[in-house]
Amino acid sequence: MNWTGIITIFLSATLKFMVSPIPGPLFNLSFFETYLAACSGAVVGTAFFYFAAEYFIIRAKKKKALAMKNAILEKIPFVEKKKFTRINRLLIRIKRKLGVVGISFWAPFFLSIPIGAIVVAKFYGKNKMTFPLMCLGVFINGLVTTSIVYIMEYYAK
């Protein structure tokens, strides 16, 4: 068993799950070793960032409030960031069209595990089904991406 490859895929999946199975064939890992390493890393990363999201959201609010307070005390005009950026509009559009299932399945996959988990927790943190849906999405997306990687490897030979 190639522990270097498994650990590499596990750690890369905690941050960017979409591309984590790619090095599997390069490390001579089997399909199932790659799949399990990628999915377990993604689930660990999802759990950490989903359940820590409240801390990150509160921290961001405090940082913004402190910046506003400092700007007022120093009589400097406080320039607030745009609230409706292109990404924010896209997320809201996806939230309205796909709902809790779509956001839970696709946000961690396309955005990244940390950002996707925080976005899901922010939109649907009170819904008890979001974390299991995110894990289900990880397993389904992992199966698809790992299959694509190994099919491409098979036909490249």
Instruction: Single out the residue of 1, 7, 17, 4 nearest to residue 149, CA to CA.
Output: 17
- 26 or 66: which leads in pLDDT: 26
What the block records as the tokens of 68 is: 């506003």
pLDDT in tens, 52-84: 988 888 888 888 888 777 766 676 666 666 677
pLDDT in tens, 87-145: 778 778 888 888 888 888 888 888 899 999 998 998 888 889 999 999 999 999 999 99
**pLDDT at residue 95 in the model:** 80
Residues 6+ positions from 101 with CB-CB distance below 8 Å: 133
Host domain of residue 109: 3-156
- 94 or 3: which leads in pLDDT: 3
The distance of Cα 117 from the centroid of its chain, to the nearest Å, equals 5
Instruction: Single out the residue of 98, 99, 118, 100 nearest to residue 108, CA to CA.
Output: 118
**Confidence (pTM):** 0.81
Give the residue-averaged pLDDT of 28-57. 94
| Cβ atoms < 10 Å from Cβ of 40 | 17
Residue 26 DSSP label:
G
**pLDDT at residue 58 in the model:** 87
**pLDDT at residue 15 in the model:** 93
Work out how many domains the chain is built from and give that number: 1
The helix/strand/coil state of 85 is coil
Sign of CA dihedral 39, 98, 128, 62: positive
Quick check: 156 pLDDT over 70? yes
Give the residue-averaged pLDDT of 10-32. 95
